[in-house]
Structure 1
Amino acid sequence: MRHLIYLLLFATPLLAQTNADIYNAKVPEPVLIWHRVADVSPGLQSVEAAEFSPDGSLAVSGGKFGYRVMLWRVADGTLLWQSAHESEVECVTFSPDGRRIATGGEDYFLRVWDTATGEQLHSMEMTEAGFDGITWSPDGRYIVGGDEAGNAVFFDGTTYAEVARINCGSTINSLQFTADGTQLLVGGNIQTLDPNGPGGKTYTGFAKVIDVARRAIIQDIGEQPGSIKSVRYSPDEKHFATGGFDNKARLFDAASGKLVREFTDPLKIEAVAFTPDGHYLVTGGHAQSINFYRLSDGELALRLPMARVEYIDFTDNGRLMLTSHEDSGLLSCYLLQSNTQTRGNYQQIADEQLNNRDLKGGN
């Protein structure tokens, strides 16, 4: 199968001190900017994962069939460098300072790259399984890979030595730290033998929270139907969302682990994400669309057609959304229009954001 990466460019969210919204809280308004090829293979093309650099100026993608790790300049879609694993690249992530990239592949290797040059700085072969998910802690202290043996494997973020291994199930597909790095949310599946199941197995999903200092699981939402493919915290970290192969995204209270709301897509869900302004939960998967659900009322605000979705990532400021997709090898950029002119608050927002001398009492 081929994968498609879509990159959505959002208008700048309002600075915290202005207390007004910049883009539409009722219906998002995306406009296509550009397409680029993001996986190179003589046969099928696919992209398993993609992520923004911390400042949003770069994006890294990992290819399924071309085995490529590719670094892109976001402003114009220029390919800056490419390197490769020896088999499928499953997951990619930037260090908090943006100077390094960590990737995991089906060659059972964790690899670390220099962002500026593409030089491979480190490689470590895993003995048990490859990684399906990877993340870097906000303080840079740890790289954590979620492997296909159900382990959250902690590596030192400087020496790359393994420092801890916490088993959570059979496979970990997705991970995210809280902003302070004290907790780690993981999602995946538990597999049991079943001659009538796909591949002779039955898959049940899980989402669990790990206390990083204690190296212990402190919260478990219980078994979920089908594999959990993606987990994400809301911007205020009061909730987290899961998306899985039972066609549902679920919103949970982060403190209690109780289910708050369900969102149903037509087919399996591969990815979930929150818009950084907190307006929408965004889902993508086999239904060949990205779906924006309003968190204010739980209703579907927009279904944007595109190839099957594999992964979704936002820049911290909310301007950009990067997603990887099945069934093609493209990188695409969209603009989500602001509506400040229509609402009449453009000038107020502009004056608060601008540093013009005539607005600050200069000559």
Structure 2
Amino acid sequence: MKNYLFSGPFAKHIKDHIQLKQAVGYKYEAEAKHLVRFSTFTAEKYPEASILSKEIVLEWCSKRNYEAQANQCARSSILRQLAMYMERIEIGAYIIPKGYYPAAQQYGPHIYTEGELQRFFHQTDQCCFVSECPYRHLTMPVFFRMVYACGLRSSEARLLKVEDVDVEAGILSIYHSKKDNSRLVAMSDDLTGRCRNYSENMHRLSKGSDWFFPGLNGKPMTVGNIYHNFRRFLWRAGISHGGRGKGPRVHDFRHTYACHCLRKWVMEGKNISAYLPVLKAYMGHNSFEETAYYLRLTADIFPDISIRLEGCYPDIIPRLEGNGDATY
């Protein structure tokens, strides 16, 4: 665990709670930073508190004027987990009921059409050299194709190192991804060739520990850099965007990969029950439910296969509900 500085009356419990979460496989880094702020809040306002009272919980969870509903729900969820831990070790704590605050409107993943993908990737190929981002014209065409063609989370591609990309065998080594999972991901011949050409231009003198998609000052490409380029490519490709938080999102390339993969298998007459575990392993899902979610999404997006899917697999297609913004 990073050396976070907790303060206030619950500092030890917060630290122990985070250590337990990380011990069972959760990264729990964003949550830990949030709990640092909570500990500072309690140190300033409730320094003598002996229990995590309802007053403390509700004051901390009250909605800020500047924040979105989803942020309030996330803050209350983090504090709810802490309260549940404290109750288990017999420290008095108010556990805010699940769903106490109204959930934000659910986001429906944008499944890119074949035409949208072609136009988007064409725009990445038009990316020009600029001195402020000297690697942009080399990285963007490969980065976004890799996210879609391998069904990766953006962070998985962004944090690849040179030694993680086998440009001869066409294999990506993904380490310490969501819930600290690791896996091998095979690339298509076309993507492998692009990565090989990219490496020859970009990493002729690089060490294995260097970032495959480098940013400035020896750091990986930033989330902000990816997002700003993504928005520009969308606009130039004629794909409308509803504004921040309304999509399409970079993560929707991962959703699109899963749906396109399932549709292809159905059209080819594959046994989906046998192929779902393959997709689960390839995408790094922790549970079968995460993968089965895409069966319903695929059926809804592609009505031409809906009847075939529901007729053959009625027991494994879940209803699309309760998935929030679907970050599988």
Per the shorter chain, which TM-score range? under 0.3
* TM-score when normalising by structure 2: 0.27
1 or 2, which has the higher helix percentage? 2
**Which structure's relative contact order is higher, taking Cα pairs within 8 Å and 6+ residues apart?**
1
1 or 2, which has the higher strand percentage? 1
Q: Max radius of gyration: which structure? A: 2
